[in-house]
A and B are shown apart, each in its own frame.
Chain A
């Protein structure tokens, strides 16, 4: 009977996870609208895999399975991974990625609260390195597709690996980030690239609307005080600043900042991945350093690296630096003159 004797009504780990999942729903709806039912199948497969892997690991580790399974953290990992990989892929791709995320990246590192690296991004990195061909086949937006893929066809592709009557190439297209990189390397000018039909207002057609929904969901999480402003703001500001700098130096070779903010996983990364509690710093200054560094790395990988997008690798690199960042950014405690030294 030790104080305090009260607790915040309705506050729990599962409440937080459910709110984050809810914040992803608008983006999923828009994703479905632009790219068809593939994302729903992917989300379902990922969720089931995550729950099975989580339950098995909890059982093996002698944890109360039901109590931990309902915390929602495994499903969140699954959703973040499903939203990061192409929506049309063989079933085992998302299953392997999710299982690796839950079993290795989460539980082998100590389970909830103890993993050093973001499980969803570890799953993404494993797939990206192991199965790069599947990871770069993105379906074209339905509006541009000559052959929109329906639900049954998608399901068929997931489990048989073939599409009736058409080749996979007919329904997939390069992503805006991919197109930007390869076309610029082929000495196309910026306006030639951005005039391609896959480009929308700032980013890709469809993907920029999804990015806007991630932004909306992120603002909801900030308003509900699930996340603080530090990480997303520093992430996006750093990304935009570097983009502005290079765009200013040579606008024909470097895309404008709005392009970088609204393509690929920038918004998802800023609001949902870099803000992951367990794998990001806890101090306000640490969050700023973490977010800004990740945003900077995203630009470097996108523009100068080998991969079209850099969210996963930028976040994973920064995850490794979190203990150090935390140790050197302790705030000034009440009644003290300076910051706490490590």
Chain B
């Protein structure tokens, strides 16, 4: 029996999981229209590689991953590309994004699916397969998996599969583990093959006995260990799960690989198995549809399915539904538009009613009860961070480690004063990020300006040096050839001109006495202009070049 380590804090919100876990996963019918966002992962959005009017096959790549940190997207079914345009997507910002719309032809005709034997294939070929199959972390962060499985020089000691699913209401990973444990384990084998860890641990919260039993059965004779962890939100947080299973803390600001651990979601392992062993890219996922719907259930639905259709499959929303949540109630975000499609990151859709999710009463002042500090899984002091964020004392908020906050919502959940703490922390983080950008921009501008001044000084010095050299050369030449007839003639001509001018001036002085003084203002004005730019006119034209200078 493995000894588990405790992380600080945590909360026990009512889990509401049985609502949707009583029924098996149902296959959602083929929708008429699928809207596939090009940005379903962290990193560079996929580039569309199809045109409106093209006919595509099921599983055909329609958006390519051009960058290293990117992932491809695929046609979830066969049909015609009807639009490539901005469309509503499920995102915390509520902003629409570029999507490819496919009108289904109803044939479900696949591309040629080619399994890859990862045991014999080059590891880079396997990673390329993952990228081109659009494999991303399905635990919520949707980070491209091929990047994650390229740990470079870091030796991974422990591979952790996250099946904790600690958020209330969500059961998609639970049902996937119950029904498709063997396929998940097949996917874990691919991960293990790529990174060669010393141990593989699968962490599951102990409120999922069927999933634990199924995974244990599937893990027999693999050497993978299923570890049951007690129910305590946020045990499924990457850092918290790693701490529980290994006792190690990911150092602040570093990544898990720095302590030799790699953590991945069980759903990701499943998609890896489909992609490598079956040649099927990520075109569907399991999604929990629950909350204020008449028949909560998990569905296997094609990516791009409008979320409204999933609500209908779950029996429709009850009349008192106010809005919807994507993800769980602790970290998910609100959704108003059911036209938004199912994406790789959408693990749960919750219909919200005031009865199921009572709105927060008006906030009271903080009474420093420290319920938040006792609940914080990062051992932060949210009451201090709140105080600093509210008073916009951002330096202090940063010094008290605001950026270690994982926004899990525990502090908010327990606050008897109903203060929206996480919102305050998000606000402070974004303000600090803005300040940092401004400081960086100012610093860059300063560097550019100083570089420009330095260069101008250097150029002036060089010019003066060149001039001095030229004059010296001319003098030397004159001195070397005193009898040069051309030079002598020139000299004589100049001398004659000077004489003439002198004679003319003397004449004028004699005629107009007293002579007028030259106007002083004109000369001073010219000086002012020069001082203003601090540049001789000939050099002013070089100013625009500044833009292209290195910073």
**A1-37 CB contacts (< 8 Å) to partner B:** 1-9, 11-13, 15-16
Q: Does A283 contact B (CB under 8 A)?
A: yes
Residues in B with CB closer than 8 Å to A16 are 367, 369, 416
Residues of B within 8 A of A11 (CB): 371, 414-416
Chain B residues with CB below 8 A from A332, complex form: 379
- Are the C-beta atoms of B400 and A340 separated by less than 8 Å? yes
Asked if A5 and B426 make an inter-chain contact with CB atoms under 8 angstroms apart, the answer reads no
On chain B, the residues within 8 Å of A8 by CB distance are 11, 13, 413-414, 416
> Which of the residues B7, B14, B367, B370 comes within 8 Å of A113, measured between beta carbons?
B367
Are A6 and B384 within 8 A (Cβ)?
no
A7 and B360 in contact, given A112-B365, A333-B404 (Cβ under 8 angstroms): yes
Contact across chains for A5 and B418 when beta carbons are under 8 A apart: no
Cβ of A63 to closest chain B Cβ, rounded Å: 10
How many whole Å from A6's CB to the nearest CB in chain B? 5
Q: Is the CB of B364 within 8 A of A277?
A: no
Interface flag for A336 (CB, 8 Å): yes
Given contacts A3-B407, A278-B367, is CB(A334)–CB(B417) below 8 Å? no
The answer to whether the Cβ of A136 comes within 8 Å of any Cβ in the partner chain is: no
A84 contacts the other chain (CB 8 A): no
B29 within 8 A of A: no
Inter-subunit contact A282/B416 (CB<8 Å):
no
* Any B CB within 8 A of the CB of A304: no
Contact between A335 and B239, CB atoms less than 8 A apart: yes
Q: How far is the CA of A333 from the CA of B479 in the complex (A)?
A: 81
Q: How far is the CA of A4 from the CA of B7 in the complex (A)?
A: 20
CA distance A15 to B332 in the complex (A): 28
**Which residues on B sit within 8 Å (CB–CB) of A7?**
358, 360, 412-413, 415, 418
**In the bound complex, do residue B413 and residue A326 qualify as a contact, i.e. CB atoms below 8 Å apart?**
no
Closest to A227 in B: B369
Q: B365–A111 contact, CB under 8 A? A: yes
Known: A6-B329, A277-B368. A334 touches B383 (CB 8 A): no
> CB-nearest residue of chain B relative to A332?
B379
Bound CA–CA A71/B361 (angstroms): 13
- Given A3-B333, A6-B357, A331-B379, does the pair A336, B416 have CB atoms closer than 8 Å? no
B325 touching A331, Cβ below 8 Å: no
Residues of B within 8 A of A113 (CB): 364-368, 417
- Partner pick for A5 among B11, B325, B361, B381, CB 8 A cutoff: B325
Cβ–Cβ contact A5 & B329, under 8 A: yes
- In the complex, which residues of chain B have a beta carbon less than 8 angstroms from the beta carbon of A340? 381, 399-401
| A/B pair count, beta carbons within 8 Å | 143
Q: Does B8 contact A (CB under 8 A)?
A: yes
Chain A residue numbers with a CB within 8 Å of B14 are 9
Q: Mark A263-303, 1 if CB is under 8 A from B, else 0.
A: 00000000000000110101100000000000000000000
Assuming the contacts A13-B417, A331-B379, A335-B250, asked whether A2 and B357 have C-beta atoms less than 8 A apart, the reply is no
Task: Tell me the bound Cα distance from A112 to B369 in angstroms.
Answer: 12
Whether A1 contacts B334 by the Cβ 8 Å rule is yes
Contact check, A2 vs B361: say whether CB atoms are below 8 A apart: no
Whether B249 pairs with A334 at a CB distance below 8 angstroms is yes
Taking a contact as CB atoms under 8 Å apart, the answer to whether B383 and A282 are in contact is yes
**Which of A1, A4, A9, A67 has the largest count of B CB atoms less than 10 A from its CB?**
A4
Question: Does A162 sit within 8 A of B, measured CB to CB?
Answer: no
Query: Which of A7, A13, A277 neighbours the largest number of chain B CB atoms within 10 Å of its CB?
Result: A7
Give Cα A282 to B332, complex, Å.
29
Contacts A111-B365, A282-B381, A282-B384 hold; do A4 and B370 have CB atoms under 8 A apart? Answer: no
A341 on interface, CB distance cutoff 8 Å: yes
Q: Does A189 contact B (CB under 8 A)?
A: no
State whether the Cβ of A330 lies closer than 8 Å to any Cβ in chain B: yes
A244 at the interface (CB under 8 A from B): no
Residue of A nearest to B336 (CB): A1
In-complex Cβ contact of B412 among A4, A67, A73, A225 (8 A):
A4
- What CA separation (Å) do A8 and B14 show in the bound complex? 9
Query: How many Å lie between the Cα of A51 and that of B420 in the bound state?
Result: 28
Indicate if B330 sits at the interface (CB-CB under 8 A).
Answer: yes
Contacts of A12 in B (CB 8 A): 361, 364, 416-418
In the assembly, what is the distance between CA of A340 and CA of B369, in Å?
20
B345 to chain A, nearest CB (A): 14
CB-based contact A4/B251 at 8 Å: no
User: Is A114 interfacial (CB 8 A cutoff)?
Assistant: yes
Q: Which 9 A-B pairs have the closest CB atoms?
A: A1-B334, A4-B409, A113-B365, A335-B252, A334-B378, A5-B329, A6-B329, A333-B401, A4-B330
21 pairs, A vs B, C-beta closer than 8 Å? A3-B407, A4-B331, A5-B332, A5-B334, A5-B352, A8-B414, A11-B415, A13-B364, A15-B416, A16-B367, A113-B364, A228-B370, A277-B370, A282-B383, A283-B381, A330-B384, A334-B8, A334-B239, A335-B254, A336-B404, A341-B399
Chain A residues at the B interface, C-beta cutoff of 8 Å:
1-9, 11-13, 15-16, 67-68, 71, 73, 111-114, 225, 228, 277-278, 280, 282-283, 326, 330-337, 340-341
